[in-house]
Structure 1
Amino acid sequence: MSLTPDANTNSVEDNEKDAWDTALEKGGCVEEHLRLNDCYWDKHDWRKCSKEMNEFRKCWESRHGPLTSCPINMNSEKKK
């Protein structure tokens, strides 16, 4: 008997992505976003990640325009 989960039996929750992850994958800038997140988790202060933030912003805006025009409503509740 094995106590490790089978790689092919992931739960539905593990496979679900939120709207932001989906937008990043479709719109690009995934690598820039990952570097920004890594910086934050390493330094625990967004102010110390201005280089990474600017790289992400530049990437996103080159593809989609200003971040303020992002089509994702981050305040909406996820419907189940």
Structure 2
Amino acid sequence: MQKTESKYYLQALEEYNELCKEDEDAWDSRIDKTGCYVENMALQLCHAETNDWRQCLGEMAQFRECWQNKGNRDRVSTVDRK
């Protein structure tokens, strides 16, 4: 399956490349360590522009796929609230 790169993905990739040239803050560093920084940024950019998650389903799917492929589901535990 070939990944289609949305305009948000391309914009996020450009921003990520610029960010790599600068000092990262703690938040950016944590997101970068997931291996899904670009996919996360693409999803955020899409939502910021459209203000509707339903219009960002492609970006959401790419983020979810990246998150799973990088093993992030195993490294983040959830806590059941009682």
Query: Which TM-score band applies after superposition, normalised by the shorter structure?
Result: 0.5 to 0.7
Alignment-derived partner of residue 76 in structure 2: 70
Shift of 1:71: 4.2
With structure 1 as the length reference, what TM-score do the two structures score?
A: 0.55
The answer to whether the 8 A contact 2:34-2:72 is kept is: no
- Higher normalized contact order (CA 8 Å, seq sep 6+, divided by chain length): 2
Alignment-derived partner of residue 35 in structure 1: 42
After the TM superposition, which residues 17-28 of structure 1 pair with which residues of structure 2 at under 5 Å, given as runs?
Answer: 17-18=26-27, 21-28=28-35
The answer to whether 1:44 aligns with 2:57 is no
Whichever of the two has the greater Rg, that structure is 1
Runs (4 or more) in structure 1 with deviation over 4 Å come to none
Give structure 1 stretches of 5+ with no counterpart: 1-14, 74-80
Q: Against the structure 1 CA distance between its residues 34 and 49, is the aligned structure 2 distance closer, same or farther, given a 3 Å change threshold?
A: same
With structure 2 as the length reference, what TM-score do the two structures score?
A: 0.54
Aligned-pair identity in percent equals: 30
Q: Against the structure 1 CA distance between its residues 31 and 16, is the aligned structure 2 distance closer, same or farther, given a 3 Å change threshold?
A: closer
Give structure 2 stretches of 5+ with no counterpart: 1-23
- The CA RMSD over aligned residues, in Å, is 2.8
Shift of 1:66: 3.7
Q: How big is each residue's C-alpha offset from its partner over 1:9-66, in whole Å with a ceiling of 9 and x where there is no partner?
A: xxxxxx7534xx4432112111111110000001001111000000000001001254
